[in-house]
Amino acid sequence: MYIKRLLQKTLHNAIDHFPAVLITGPRQSGKTTLLKHELAGQHLNYITFDDPLERDFARQDPNGFLDRFAGKTTVLDEIQYVPELLPYLKIRIDQNRNQKGLWLLTGSQQLQLMQNVTESLAGRIALLELLPFCLLEQPAKNTKDLSSILWYSCYPEPALNFDKRELWLRSYIQTYIERDLRQLQHIQNLGAFERFISLMAARHAQVFNAAELADEVGISAPTIKSWGTLLEAAYICYFLPPYFKNYGKRITKTPKLYFIDAAIAVYLTRQPSLEALTNGAMGGAFFEGFIISETIKIFTGLGKKPDLFFWRSHDGLEVDLLIQLQGKIYPVEIKITATPTLQHLAPLNKFKEIIGNDAAETGLLVCKVKQKTILPNNNIALPWQDFPGWLLNKLSK
């Protein structure tokens, strides 16, 4: 069963205009499936560098490796394993700059890969990102119940096969997060790294405090920051930056931490059941993280860089999400309630008052109301199911 992805249109546009296209994103987010399906009518060469024989061939004889493909459209999967190939790919592209969409690359982490790509293929390659399913991509049966979305994951495999959830999540965490990522930075202390990941999950939707984490894990704060960068580069976590512009209020300058896929944080924090998920102590955090993740996915699905922030004043007022759109800042509060109150609107009203004309007229409260509801002071309560469509509409204008 193939699920149409938001990135489809942007992908075809990139293929039409660039000699090479790189799709990055976490493991098993559907990058290869997307390429194979969208180019099904073409004869594709497909090579994965998960295969050690292909890796060795590309490293030891890059020209011989590339000669095999003779001008045919070629998918090079998990290109981060052979960065040595990129300069030779550049030479091939420069010999025929008019041939578009010939080289299609995928990668599942950004650290050294993006540096190598920008150094070798700048101006020759389109850079796209594919994350797990957003709500608009999910099968209709998956979109009705919030707890199910958070519990079963938005990665294609468990999202389409609920019975695989437990095994898939355990395997993904053990193989990709705890093994592959640890090996990327040559992390020797497995126990410390496992504690770090679990503690990060427990802080889902909280301010990222490296010093506090360092004390609990028993390593240095710089190491914690380095490991955090690793999880972000692998699309496991996202660090939402604070809004820095000073409008007369002292604000925090530390980012907030979110797991892009809630189910990974749910699994790592050992939530007892789907039924209790949104009613438990972390229910609000999981809901907030889900809306933040949806926002990121809509932006990247359209080939755009997310322009997102949060805002917190010194006296405790906080707006969960600020979205810069069309020259305005849309303040968004995210609350797991079906009964909006004036208290929920206070941060929206205060933020709009402080920044004045830079703010959009309308503030959003994304929550569990049944239908869109007009609230005082140009605010709207929006059902969580409607938020992705609202954002997609705004970004498509």
**Tell me: the pLDDT tens digits for 345-363?**
999 999 999 889 999 999 9
Q: What residues have CB less than 8 Å from 166, skipping those under 6 apart?
A: none
Mean pLDDT of the chain: 92
Structural contact between residues 319 and 310, judged by C-beta atoms closer than 8 angstroms: yes
Higher-confidence position of 68 and 119:
68
Q: What is the pLDDT of residues 174-198, one digit of tens each?
A: 998 888 888 777 888 889 999 999 9
pLDDT over 90 at 209, yes or no: yes
Strand partners, 310: 242
Place of tokens 């569990």: 368
DSSP string, 222-254: HHHHHHHHHHHHTTSEEEEPBP---SSS-B---
pLDDT over 90 at 35, yes or no: yes
Q: What is the pLDDT of residues 266-321, one digit of tens each?
A: 999 999 999 889 999 999 999 999 999 999 999 999 999 999 999 987 777 899 99
pLDDT over 80 at 129, yes or no: yes
pLDDT over 70 at 249, yes or no: no
Cβ contacts of 83-92, under 8 Å, gap ≥ 24: 83/112, 83/113, 83/116, 84/58, 84/59, 85/58, 85/59, 86/116, 86/117, 86/119, 86/120, 86/121, 87/120, 88/62, 88/63, 89/20, 89/120, 89/121, 90/120, 90/121, 90/124, 92/66
pLDDT over 50 at 76, yes or no: yes
> 362, 365, 288: which is closest to 325 by C-alpha?
362
Q: Where are the alpha helices (DSSP H) in 302-364?
A: 342-355
Structural contact between residues 59 and 89, judged by C-beta atoms closer than 8 angstroms: no
Q: Identify the structural domains of the chain with CATH numbers, from first to last.
A: 7-129 (3.40.50.300), 140-234+251-271 (no CATH)
- Helix axis angle for 7-17 and 31-38, nearest 10°, is 70
Residues in the chain: 397
The whole-angstrom separation of Cα 147 and Cα 283 is: 9
Beta strands in the chain (DSSP E): 20-24, 45-48, 74-77, 103-107, 125-129, 206-207, 237-240, 256-259, 308-312, 318-325, 328-334, 363-367, 373-375, 379-383
The kind and range of the H/E element at 220 are none
- The predicted model scores a pTM of 0.93
Two structure tokens written together for 146: 């919030």
Position 386 scores a pLDDT of: 97
pLDDT over 50 at 250, yes or no: no
Place of tokens 């998960």: 50
Position 87 scores a pLDDT of: 93
Q: What is the pLDDT of residues 131-176, one digit of tens each?
A: 999 999 998 878 889 999 999 999 999 999 999 999 999 999 999 8
> 262, 3, 49: which is closest to 141 by C-alpha?
3
Position 245 scores a pLDDT of: 67
Q: Give CA separation, 15 vs 8, 86, 219, 272, in Å.
A: 11, 18, 45, 45
Q: What percent of the chain has pLDDT over 70?
A: 97
Among 96-100, 113-117, 219-223, 281-285, the least confident range: 113-117
The whole-angstrom separation of Cα 292 and Cα 183 is: 29
